[in-house]
A and B are shown apart, each in its own frame.
Chain A
Amino acid sequence: MLKLDEIQKRLLMEVADLHKVPEGAYNIRSNGKSAGRVSTANIEIEPKENGSGLDIYIKPGTKNESVHIPVVMTQSGLTEVVYNDFHIGEDADVVIVAGCGIDNCGPDDSEHDGIHRFYVGKNAKIRYVEKHYGSGDGKGKRILNPGTEVYMEEGSSMEMEMVQIKGVDDTNRVTTAELAAGARLVVRERLMTHGCQNAVSTYLVSMNGEGATADVVSRSVARDTSYQKFDAKLVGNAACSGHTECDSIIMDEGRILAVPGLEANNVDAALVHEAAIGKIAGDQIIKLMTLGLTEQEAEEQIINGFLK
């Protein structure tokens, strides 16, 4: 029986859009323990023997099913490292929703380091959604350091939506991916930092097989005195195509470092990077003001649209 208090329910809604117990397979982790777990005929969730995390087995050919593995933390001072491994069978087509919400009202730092490893079988298709959220007015920091490793077999496809919009004081996100022939990786990262937050996001995508494609796009907004670093490197080791883009809005005294990187080790590797950092254009604000919005409302709409 799933027992969560109101704060935990709110966090669940923020990170996984869950208003109630999800359909399909799920594991909800609350303050370092499983608060509820359900496997299905095709998706099995098993705790690791050493208690360090979960193994999630998705049977070959599983279609139109979902797995939710959200994490909520409301206990100040809790630090945890969790390893979740996803074993995705050939030809499966599933949605995986992860995400972590921390509410820290206490004086001590709360930290969740989730390491997710995806072993994506041949021709499998995955959509992965990961949202991070922080709340609470304690002096303790809300820290999230997600590590994501993706191993993609031939012809597999993975779309990753990584979102961190509010409340996370410190994050160091590291994502690596290895793509076999014909594998396709699409990453859409949306990030907003405010206050004196710090966010570092690093990608290393290696396209090792012919016909592999990768498209890694980050849109971010740095407000107040926050700092962001986006470091995305694509490596083409075969005839492949890759694109990475960092598009950022800088506000107040925010700071952003964009380090797009390309490495071609094969003459048929076609790699492109784009990076742009700038403040909100004055004419955008004026246009929305002529529609009756205040300057502040205009800014909010521009940012909301940008991060949508």
Chain B
Amino acid sequence: MLELRNISFGVAEEGEDKEILRDISLTIPDNKLVVVTGPNGGGKSTMAKVIAGIQKPTSGRIFLDGTDITSLSITERAKLGIGFAFQQPVRFKGIQVFDLLKLATGKNLPVSDACEYLSRVGLCAHDYIDREINASLSGGELKRIEIATVLARATRLSIFDEPEAGIDLWSFQNLIEVFEQMRRDIKDSSILVISHQERILNIADEVIVIREGELAEQGTRGEILPDLIGTASAVRGCRKSGVSQTEETEC
């Protein structure tokens, strides 16, 4: 279980202090898939980075399974069981997909297991396992590899920052299946997804709305989602996901 207590985060911008997160308190329970939505620029991604340790909160405390992790580094939090899939995955010249999956598991991963992770995100393992994670991969391919690294880690809390951003329609449909499967396999862990996508919100156990840096709403899907449908916080098509105009369609 993850708990945020009175988390605030601010930055100095053009000589003025700008507050990105304001006094956010919430809980991500075990065995739940929680989707965080809300308007762009509202602070959702920042909150995810604060949880992973990439950003340090200005004030407030973070607890993972009752342990205060506020002062821990990214590495220490990762070792305690926080996984993080970036909105814009990083490219590495020379590092191959298999290398990254091995690093993710922290052990000498059998090729068959690596292939299984790739298959789960809809990539033909044979074609990708030896590929370098460089500019030759498309945004959608990178995104799926990024998700595979988090699957491979099998962490207590897996965070996905806008997993649908930058991927094509086919990948998006596959992505929904990946999250549905993760939801079924959630035993003894929890999943936090930042997304505007109605189809992802539809598989959420709980929905959190972050607006203008504040926690606007938190509740079960049944409580929250009906009011969000049709707003920018629950879009039906791929428009929010950065798909090109020609492919823009309902998913």
Which residues of A come within 8 Å of B, CB atoms? 219, 247, 281, 283-284, 286-295, 301-302, 304-308
Q: Can you show 23 pairs from A to B with CB atoms below 8 A apart?
A: A219-B93, A219-B94, A286-B74, A286-B90, A287-B86, A289-B74, A290-B54, A290-B74, A290-B84, A291-B100, A291-B106, A291-B153, A292-B78, A292-B79, A294-B75, A295-B75, A301-B95, A305-B92, A305-B94, A306-B92, A306-B93, A306-B95, A308-B95
Q: Is the CB of B95 within 8 A of A302?
A: yes
Chain B residue contacts of A287, Cβ below 8 A:
86, 89-90
**Cβ contacts under 8 Å, B38 to chain A:** none
Residue on A nearest B84 in the bound complex, by CB: A290
Taking CB atoms, residues of chain A closer than 8 Å to B93 are: 219, 247, 305-306
Whether B103 contacts A301 by the Cβ 8 Å rule is yes
A301 nearest in chain B by CB position:
B103
If A289-B73, A292-B106 touch, does A283 touch B94 (CB 8 Å cutoff)?
Answer: no
**Cβ contacts under 8 Å, B70 to chain A:** none
Residues of A within 8 A of B104 (CB): 291
Closest 7 CB pairs of A and B: A305-B95, A305-B94, A289-B74, A292-B78, A290-B84, A287-B90, A306-B94
CA distance A302 to B99 in the complex (A): 11
B83 within 8 Å of A by Cβ? yes
CB distance from B99 to the nearest CB of A (A): 6
Q: Is B45 an interface residue (CB 8 A)?
A: no
Q: Does B52 interact with chain A (Cβ within 8 Å)?
A: yes
The verdict on B37 contacting chain A, using a C-beta distance below 8 Å, is: no
Determine if B75 and A292 form an interchain contact, defined as CB atoms under 8 angstroms apart. yes
Contacts of B100 in A (CB 8 A): 291
Q: Are B78 and A290 in contact (CB under 8 A)?
A: yes
Decide if B103 touches A293 in the complex (CB within 8 Å).
yes
Partner of A288, one of B82, B96, B103: B103
Complex CA distance for A287 and B92, rounded to whole angstroms: 10
Q: How far is the CB of B148 from chain A (nearest CB, A)?
A: 12
Contact of A293 (CB < 8 Å), options: B75, B95, B96, B149: B75
Tell me the minimal C-beta distance from A190 to chain B in angstroms. 10
A-B contact count (CB 8 A): 61
Chain A residues near B89 (CB, 8 Å)?
287
Residues of A within 8 A of B52 (CB): 290
Q: Give Cα A205–Cα B248 distance, bound, in whole angstroms.
A: 49
**Closest Cβ–Cβ distance, residue A59 to chain B (whole Å):** 36
Q: Nearest chain-B residue to A303 (Cβ)?
A: B94
> What's the minimum C-beta distance from B176 to chain A, rounded to whole angstroms?
24
CB <8 Å contact, B75 and A302: no
Additional A-B contacts beyond A286-B90, A291-B78, A305-B96 (17; CB < 8 A): A247-B93, A281-B90, A283-B90, A284-B92, A286-B74, A287-B86, A288-B103, A289-B73, A289-B78, A290-B78, A290-B83, A291-B149, A301-B103, A302-B95, A306-B92, A306-B94, A308-B94
The binding surface of chain A is classed by DSSP as: helix
Residues of A within 8 Å of B90, CB to CB, are: 281, 283-284, 286-287
Distance to closest chain B CB from A216 (angstroms) = 17
- With the chains together, A301 CA to B54 CA distance in Å? 19
Shortest CB-to-CB span from A303 to chain B, Å, is 9
How far apart are the CA atoms of A281 and B89 in the complex, in Å? Answer: 13
B99: chain A residues within 8 A (beta carbon): 301, 305
Q: State how many angstroms separate the Cβ of B7 from the closest Cβ of chain A.
A: 19
- Least CB distance from B139 to A in Å reads 15
Chain B residues with CB under 8 A of A281: 90
Would you give the shortest CB distance from A61 to chain B, in whole angstroms?
A: 33
CB pair A286–B54 under 8 Å, yes or no, is yes
* Interchain nearest-CB distance for B152 vs A (Å): 9
B84 contacts which chain A residues (CB < 8 A)?
A: 290
Chain B 100-122 per-residue mask, 1 if CB under 8 angstroms from chain A, else 0: 10011010000000000000000
| C-alpha gap A288/B94 in the complex (Å) | 14
Q: In the complex, what's the smallest C-beta–C-beta distance from B103 to chain A, in angstroms? A: 5
CA separation between A286 and B54, bound complex, in Å? 7
Give the CA-CA distance A100 to B79 in the complex, in Å.
42
Interface string of B53-83 (1 = CB under 8 A from A): 0100000000000000000011100110011
Q: How far is the CA of A118 from the CA of B82 in the complex (A)?
A: 55
For A289, give the chain B residue with the smallest CB separation: B74
A304: chain B residues at CB < 8 Å are 94
Most interface-central of A219, A288, A291, A294 (chain B CB within 10 A): A291
How far, in whole Å, are A286 and B173 apart by their CA atoms in the complex? 29
| CB nearest to A306 among chain B residues | B94
Residues of B close to A308: CB separation below 8 A: 94-95
A292 to B153, CA, bound (A): 10
Nearest-neighbor residue (CB-CB) of B94 within chain A = A305
- Specify which chain B residues have a CB less than 8 angstroms from the CB of A306 in the assembled complex: 92-95
- Docked-complex contact B103 and A291, CB < 8 angstroms: yes
Alpha-carbon gap, A290 to B104, bound state (A): 9
- Minimum CB–CB distance from A292 to chain B (whole Å) comes to 4
Give Cα distance in the complex from A302 to B134, angstroms: 12
Q: Within the complex, what minimum Cβ distance (angstroms) separates B105 from chain A?
A: 9
CB closest residue in chain B, given A298? B75
